[in-house]
Amino acid sequence: MHKLLPALIGFRFSSSGRKTMMSGFISKASAIGAAIGVIAILAGLSAMNGFERELRYRVLGVIPAAEIYPVEGEYILGVSEKTRILAESPAVAAAAPEIIINGLVSAGGVYKGVQVRAVDPQAELEVLHLSPFIREGSFLAADNNSAENPSPENHSPENASETEAPGIVLGSRIARKLGVKIGDSAEFLMAAQKASESRDQSGPRALSSARFRVTGILEIGGQLDAAVAFININEARKLLDLPEDSANNIAFRTADILQAGTECMDGARYLAQRVSAGNLYVRSWMSVQGRLYKDIQMIRSILYLALFLVISVACFNIVSSLIMAVNDKRSEVAILLSMGYSRLAVMETFAVQGAISGCAGTLAGIILGVPLAVNLSEIVSGIEHVFGFHVLNQNVYFIGFVPTEFHWQDAVYVAGIAVIMSFMATVIPAIMASKIKPARELSGK
């Protein structure tokens, strides 16, 4: 009981009705300030967790973690063997050959610039997680079935050419701009250099074109929907007059997506040690989209700094209210000291009294902040619907909504920081209380 006495007296002082109006107001203000800080930081951290999840799921689901590519205008020969060897590296989870072509897709007199990734469908789906984003139709793996076993409605002569055309998967915003849907035709135009042409050829080259049938529509929810399309790698080899086993890119997925910067180099070294690959370059998603991840981590750090600043303001209020409480309780402290109450116990008493405000504010912040953080996406969507605006512009950001992902460890860290700072704020007032001289206070001098 003796050990708990400072805590009991501190709680009694805190709940006592004998407070000045200013002291009570400052005490409540400090608790409210701590609560607001905790609520805001929990919501912000949950949003950052959501952005990081969407970055991994959406952006890194449809772009390779790393790529190996030759000098511009050249191609990797014997790409199947090199891809197989690369996939055997401990740092590589899967690899697939690609041919990347920049060009135009057109339909109905409308043109849209795209980057076409010509892929081996089965191998590509091991590198990229595209299946969840196919909004309509299917990925290229289904093309052969549709061509070999066309549906009855496609037996008519006018549909024969469209049925026989190779498949293409378009981003949803590309399809929307062109006004095409599943089964419609789209023409791909490119100025890519064919293997049979000389690299020294100067001047503009005529556009090559090929007709495709839309077999799938990809919807990621951001800028990539307006820039990416997929065709079969064999069709690209025909268009570019390339050897059968060639490509201008090897895409691969690293074992740890966040360590792609180092693991892509490990994979490249593994390949170079086992086969003569010529002059090849390697890059990871960190060099292409890494700024997104760095921005998220930077904002997370800024949020913790904001937590420190907001709780610091609340702590100044705790200091002010405690100093006023010490002045209000000088006679009570003097009586306790005269009865044998130690000065250390006096410090503990006022430390408990001051920490109660911080802990109460932190607890209120956790109670109110956790539901807000969990349901942040729905709350923001509701606000957007009511006021008719969008927080995130899909034309600017890689997603068009505010994601959220709540982690309990964030709540623990935030609450711990707030409580520790609240205790630190009580040190100076508690020391002042321990310096009270009982004889002077009780004599009235």
pLDDT digits (tens, 9 = 90+) for 156-210: 444 444 457 889 999 888 999 999 999 999 999 887 555 555 444 444 455 688 8
DSSP, collapsed to helix, strand or coil, labels residue 30 as: helix
Run of H or E including 217: strand 208-218
First-to-last CA distance in the chain? 34
**Residue in the block written with tokens 């005269």:** 338
For residue 112, report the phi and psi dihedrals to the nearest 5 degrees.
-145, 130
Per-residue tokens: 324 = 């006023």
For residue 277, count other CB atoms closer than 10 A to its CB: 19
Q: What are the domain boundaries of the chain?
A: 5-56+293-443, 64-288
Q: Measured between alpha carbons, how far is 27 from 272 in angstroms, rounded to an integer?
A: 67
Per-residue tokens: 18 = 């004998």
Contacts of 170 (CB under 8 A, 6+ apart): 105, 114, 178, 180, 186, 214, 216, 217, 218, 229
Tens-digit pLDDT profile for the chain (445 aa)? 466 777 777 767 666 655 556 666 777 777 888 888 889 889 988 988 888 888 777 777 778 889 998 887 788 888 999 999 999 999 999 999 999 998 899 998 899 999 899 999 888 888 888 888 888 888 875 444 433 344 434 434 444 444 578 899 998 889 999 999 999 999 998 875 555 554 444 444 556 888 999 999 988 877 778 888 999 999 999 888 888 888 989 999 888 887 888 889 999 999 988 887 678 889 888 877 777 777 777 887 888 888 788 778 777 877 887 787 777 777 877 888 887 788 888 888 878 877 787 888 889 999 999 999 999 888 988 888 888 777 776 666 667 778 889 999 989 988 988 888 888 888 888 888 888 877 777 776 5
Strands 110-119 and 92-107: antiparallel
Q: Measured between alpha carbons, how far is 437 from 439 in angstroms, rounded to an integer?
A: 6
Alpha-helical regions (H) of 55-128: 60-62, 79-87, 121-127
**DSSP assigned state of 400:** S
Per-residue tokens: 175 = 């399809």
Among 314, 328, 343, residue whose Cα is nearest residue 426: 314
- pTM of the full structure: 0.69
How many residues are listed for the chain in this entry?
Answer: 445
For residue 19, report the phi and psi dihedrals to the nearest 5 degrees.
-125, 145
Among 227, 240, 305, 266, residue whose Cα is nearest residue 37: 305
